[in-house]
Chains A and B, each alone.
Chain A
Amino acid sequence: MNFIDRFVAGWAKYRKPGYYEDFDYAWTMTIDLDRCSGCGACVTACQAENNIPIVGEEELRKGREMQWIRIERYWEGEYPNAKLKFIPMLCQHCDAAPCETVCPVSATYHNQDGLNTQIYNRCIGTRSCAVYCPYEVRYFNYYDHHWDAPLEQQLNPDVTVREKGVMEKCTFCVQRIRQAKDHAKDDGRRRLRDGDVQPACVQSCPTEALNFGDRKDSSSKVYRSMHDPRAYHVLEELNTLPSVVYLKKVETHAD
């Protein structure tokens, strides 16, 4: 096999369409909008788990708040018949992620679990990933954030505190996934079972609107719910192949 043949073979392997089907896991989250009450427990849990800085009043006014998961609120109709709808919006871990192609230093890439990961140490802060992301779920550290005296005690030791000039976003609590894998290995299991791992937002959801699991495992809870007839992707027409599946809110026509 000469050099050119090897190159072509390597290229074909690399350029294989649907390469993400061969990942070890395909972590997926389903969000049942029928169950979501917009309470914001997931937002708080995420903030605590992932050392997300509280930017303060002034920064908030400038529109620089950081919430890896945020509750989007949409009002429909005029006052007497106004309706409020919630959509929790977080990184969709797209299999064809626009943010991954644009990063000049590959600081964001797809790992073997089908996660869209962000490497803080590699990020040079061009912020182009945030522009390319149609879901607007990437947050930039405009300053070095710090926690006042007793509060730094509650930082999660498993998660990096990001410095200024670095992009960050939802990781599907990759530290928990890693930990669960370690435990599974200790128990002599090759694969994780459904329910072995839960991101902070899923764990804290009081109405169980959020579900997390491996969609390659057809017995998993998330597999069942993503095949619900109500399932859809946000901005599906952009063909980013998101890993977050939303279940449509059923309209009740009381009148």
Chain B
Amino acid sequence: MPTEEKPLQFADVNNDIVRSLVVTGRNYYITLGIAMFVALACFFFPWFYQLYYGIGAAGMNHPTVWGTYLASFIFWIGLSHSGTLLSCVLHITNSEWRKAMYRSAEAMTLFSLLVAATMVMVHVGRPWFIHWAAPYPNQMGLWPNFKSPLLFDVMAITTYLTGSLIFIYMGSIPDFAAVRDRTSGWRRHLYVLLSLGWRGTDTEWHRLGWAYTFLAVLIIPLAVSVHSIVSWDFAMSLVPGLHQTIFAPYFVVGAIYSGTAGIVTVMFVLRKYMNFEHLITQLHFDNLGKLLLFLSLLWTYINMLELFTGWYSGTSAEYEQIKYKLTGFYAPLYWEMILFCAVAPLLMFSTKFRTSFVPMLVLSIAINIGMYTERFLIIATTLSRQYLPDAWGVYVPSLVEISILVGSLAVFVTLFLIFVKIFPSVSIYEVKETMPQPRKREANLES
């Protein structure tokens, strides 16, 4: 019997995905080991060094008091944005091609948010008092400042994190049950707990579907609001170049853009190393490519608009800001960003490019490098050229900052690697929905 021609059976999906959880190769352990080592050496060690000696270990100085830590924070929040948001939008619009990828996309959301929250801890001067930013009854009788956009931020991110966690967990319950029925030992105990006694009755499916759609509708405005609120941290200041109404849509579009690119990267890796070739196909890359192209055009438009607004204001501070951005100290970075995020994505007009895996991987990584640069530039160019020329200065990240940036990537990879061994990283039941119904008679004839 030629196995290649046999259509994919329901059991194959189950087996494939359970195999990805249970069978662990040497390569996995090596990768996990490297990721954990890099996380320890490049993230936690420099962080403890900085905690001990003070924020001075980073390169921030007098006019530029914010640096790469905050840029990384926005970057990770941005990366988080396409996961759950994209998954929700595609769920509501009934896009079939979502089903193979959404679980890993949602996991990306969760872990990027966790890393982003950690970046805030790295950023502030006294992280041991960070809980003061949360409204809780305390013996000091003090509340946080509800007028502060930073406080809005704390609220928005906590809400988004909780929402995303519930959403990914609820969508995985039937899969946990499926895995529960096929594993033994400690895994079985774990999945018995996680699947919450799921039996697969009609009532259960009905309730799951209803609750899932409800949450999806709830999370879309939440995702948009989170990044708008992150942008207010900047836009509510008086700093020329930051004080712009365009910032909320600018950040939201940028977030979805970098997040979608991140999904392309993750999907390539999953496809290649988890053997999901028949689940993640050219169709997914084609569709994501179209979305990326659209977002890149939107992003380019908003960038031009940002320059226009500055020019239209007609104030000397804004002029200086634009001049500095386009030709000043950070100009090479600016033009790199334009190349990676506005020019290179135009390649995706070609269907051939969208359906080839390696070029899409390279482009998706380039886009995220460009988007990181964007976040860095938003902080560095504006803060180093503010109103009083006497207080102008230049900021260059220190070794500790660069190390923590690299390390945060390793933290993310570590979390993701642990995730793929606990969560079924491709949704079992939703992939089955896209497959033809099995025919009993044929199966009987074959056996």
Contact = CB atoms under 8 A, between A and B. Distances in A.
Contacts, number: 142
A54 to B, nearest CB: 15
Given A136-B391, A165-B125, A98 B65 contact: no
B138 to A, nearest CB: 11
B388 A165 contact: no
B123 interface: yes
A136 B385 CA distance: 11
A137 to B, nearest CB: 9
Contact of A104 (B63, B133, B239): B133
A29 to B, nearest CB: 18
Contacts of A185: none
Given A142-B54, A238-B238, A126 B124 contact: yes
Contact of A132 (B126, B133, B237): B237
- B interface majority secondary structure: loop
B387 A105 contact: no
Interface stretch (B6-14, B140-148, B196-204): B140-148
B132 A164 contact: no
B125 A141 contact: yes
Nearest to A140: B65
A106 B144 contact: yes
B236 to A, nearest CB: 7
B145 A101 contact: yes
A106 B148 CA distance: 9
A227 B383 CA distance: 34
Interface stretch (A44-52, A56-64, A242-250): A56-64
Given A124-B125, A136-B388, A165-B55, A142 B60 contact: yes
Contacts of A164: 53-56, 125-126
Contacts of B60: 127, 140, 142
Contact of B54 (A74, A105, A165): A165
Choose among A73, A74, A123, A124 the residue with the greatest number of B CB atoms under 10 Å from its CB.
A124
Given A64-B62, A101-B145, A132 B386 contact: no
Contacts of B59: 62
Given A65-B62, A104-B154, A125-B126, A131 B388 contact: no
A123 B233 CA distance: 18
Interface in B142-163: 142-145, 147-151, 154
Nearest to B150: A104
Nearest to A106: B145
Contacts of A73: 390
Nearest to B396: A62
A143 B233 contact: no
Given A103-B148, A122-B132, A140-B55, A63 B393 contact: yes
A103 B388 contact: no
B66 interface: yes
A105 B145 contact: yes
A235 interface: yes
B199 to A, nearest CB: 46
B142 A127 contact: no
Interface residue tally of chain A, by bracket? 35 or more
Given A64-B61, A131-B66, A165-B125, A102 B56 contact: no
B335 to A, nearest CB: 25
B62 A102 contact: no
- A interface majority secondary structure: loop
A248 B127 CA distance: 44
A99 to B, nearest CB: 10
B33 to A, nearest CB: 34
A156 interface: no
Contacts of A74: 389-390
Contacts of A142: 54-56, 60
Interface string A128-144: 10111011100111111
A232 B435 CA distance: 75
Contacts of A59: 56
A130 B65 contact: yes
A184 interface: no
A127 B62 CA distance: 10
Interface in A222-255: 234-235, 238, 240
Interface in A209-227: none
Nearest to B126: A165
B54 to A, nearest CB: 4
Choose among A87, A125, A135, A141 the residue with the greatest number of B CB atoms under 10 Å from its CB.
A125
B130 interface: yes
Contacts of B54: 141-144, 164-165
Contacts of B387: 134-136, 235, 238
A174 B394 CA distance: 33
Contact of A103 (B125, B126, B145, B236): B145
Given A59-B56, A141-B54, 14 more contacts: A62-B59, A63-B393, A72-B390, A105-B129, A105-B133, A124-B126, A125-B55, A128-B66, A130-B65, A131-B383, A140-B65, A143-B53, A164-B125, A165-B125
29 contacts: A62-B59, A72-B388, A72-B390, A74-B390, A101-B145, A101-B147, A101-B236, A102-B148, A103-B148, A104-B144, A105-B144, A106-B144, A126-B150, A127-B60, A127-B65, A128-B233, A130-B65, A131-B65, A131-B239, A132-B239, A134-B238, A134-B388, A136-B388, A142-B56, A164-B56, A164-B126, A165-B54, A165-B55, A238-B238
The 5 residue pairs across chains A and B that have the minimum distance between CB atoms = A125-B125, A165-B125, A142-B56, A63-B61, A136-B391
